[in-house]
Amino acid sequence: MKREGSFSEGPQRVDPAEVRGVSRVCLGVGTFLLGVSALGSFWDPKQFVFSWHFAFSFYYTLCLGAFFWLLVHHATRSSWGTLLRRQLENVVALFPWVAVLFVPVFLDVWMGHNLYEWSDPAQVAKSFLWKARLAYLNPGFFSLRALGYLLFFVLASRYLCHQSLEQDRTGDPRVTLRLSSISCLLAPFFAGVTTFSAFDWWMSLEERWASTMWGVYLLALSLPAAMALWIGMILGLRARGYLGWVTQEHFHAMGKLLFAFIIFWAYIAFAQYFLVWYGNLPEETGFFIRRNHGSWQAVSVLLVYGNFGLTFVWLLTQGAKKDPRRLGIAAIWVVAMHVVEIYWIVMPVLHPEGPRVHWMDVTLWAGMGAVLVGFLLRTIAANPLYPLRDPLVEESVHLRN
């Protein structure tokens, strides 16, 4: 291992003045949209909390996927993405703000009882299944677990980002080894947190829904979306004149991963559906029956042929994976399909007859996004664009697939 990366071509930072104004606008617009939506909660609190959960779920899963890619990068001591890694760190640095966005869900569990039936004593009294799960699904234990999940991501992401930035200052190659060891230790905790947060926050939305594959399914839908976001960030920075050293080889590597994990998502989604269909158990089939009837069936078909089929064909050739324009189109499409999939998971509980896009779905999704983009831009401007003194940076510059 080289003692220190010597690559220093091109601008190392985004000019803070370039993003300051945009960041303020994003924060202002986002705060306004969230405020307007909060007023709407007085008229329709149930719609508000479901719309909030939908929006929160979208951004949480993007950060979750980014955290996975960062862990894998460190654990495997991968060199191909070293130049690009800082943008993953910028995304996972949003976890403290994502944790704050969970507060309305906490409040609803304790006071509103609109999102989760099991949080309402009157509903629990009517249901044998909710009574049987009361030791696990109760407001106190749920809140304690949720705090643990969020605290894990906040502290772990903060540590990984801090160590990476510390290496920029010191150039100590031991930081790379330390991050690799820590990431290996964090991996099983990440798996547990991902699985149980999936059970708690999404599977418990429905009384008759149980799947042992739900945790890996949530991870599988997060990974291509996070990779698409990563690709989009790199392309956006290159369009502004930064990261000029990123070559077709880097895009090819990212394109291959996007292609592979769209296939992985399709495999996990089909496997879960097939096992539920074959088992034909009442506590499992309700989830898919609800989403395969009425106009929800069209959304299910869109996910199969849109998220998997179209993306698979689009990225099938090597040229598509290397071409920034085509890869960018694929990234936008995958993120758009991620919005649809999160909506498909959350909203049939509220609107079983079919999709009904409410104005709060839009304002909360856009408001959270604007606020998080505002903080993301500030983070990008505050730190170097790539790990300046990582010993693997030279190898990343000269990547050959």
User: Six-digit token pair at 238?
Assistant: 């290159």
Q: Are 51 and 361 in contact (CB under 8 A)?
A: yes
Structure-token match 């606020």, residue found: 371
| Mean pLDDT, residues 37-50 taken together | 95
End-to-end, the C-alpha distance of the chain in Å comes to 20
Q: Is the pLDDT of residue 292 over 90?
A: yes
Structure tokens at 20: 């300051």
State whether residue 183 is helix, strand or coil.
helix
User: In this predicted model, what pLDDT tens digit does every residue of 252-286 receive, in sequence order?
Assistant: 999 999 999 999 999 999 999 999 999 998 878 88
pLDDT of residue 9: 57
> Are the beta carbons of 373 and 229 closer than 8 angstroms?
no
On the question of pLDDT at 186 being above 60, the answer is yes
Question: What b-and-e string marks burial along 44-72, b requiring 16 or more CB atoms within 10 Å of the CB?
Answer: ebebbbbbbbbbbbbbbbbbbbbbbbbbe
For residue 103, which amino acid is it? V
- A 10 A CB-CB count for 3 gives 10
What mean pLDDT do residues 216-222 have?
A: 98
**134: its two tokens:** 């009361």
Mapped onto helix, strand or coil, the DSSP state of residue 86 is: helix
3-state DSSP assignment of residue 351: coil
Contact between 128 and 109 under an 8 Å Cβ cutoff? The reply is no
The answer to whether residue 184 scores a pLDDT higher than 80 is yes
Confidence bin at 15 (pLDDT 50/70/90): confident
**Are residues 114 and 108 in contact, defined by beta-carbon separation less than 8 angstroms?**
yes
Q: Residue 135: helix, strand or coil by DSSP?
A: coil
Position 10 scores a pLDDT of 63
Tell me what the mean pLDDT of segment 311-334 comes to: 97
Distance CA 204, CA 117 (A): 9
Torsion angle of the four alpha carbons 226, 74, 265, 238, in this order, in degrees rounded to the nearest 10: 30
Map residue 81 onto helix, strand or coil: coil
pLDDT tens readout for residues 63-101: 999 999 999 999 999 999 999 999 999 999 999 999 999
Buried/exposed 166-189: b ≥16 CB within 10 Å, e otherwise: ebbeeebbebbeebeebbeebeee
pLDDT at residue 41 greater than cutoff 80? yes
Sign of CA dihedral 327, 333, 337, 339: positive
pTM of this structure: 0.95
Q: Which residue blocks in 41-93 are alpha helix, DSSP H?
A: 45-75, 85-92
Q: In the structure, how many helices (H) and strands (E) does the chain have?
A: 18, 0
d(CA 336, CA 208): 29
Please give the torsion angle defined by the CA atoms of residues 123, 128, 130 and 136, in that order, rounded to the nearest 10 degrees.
140
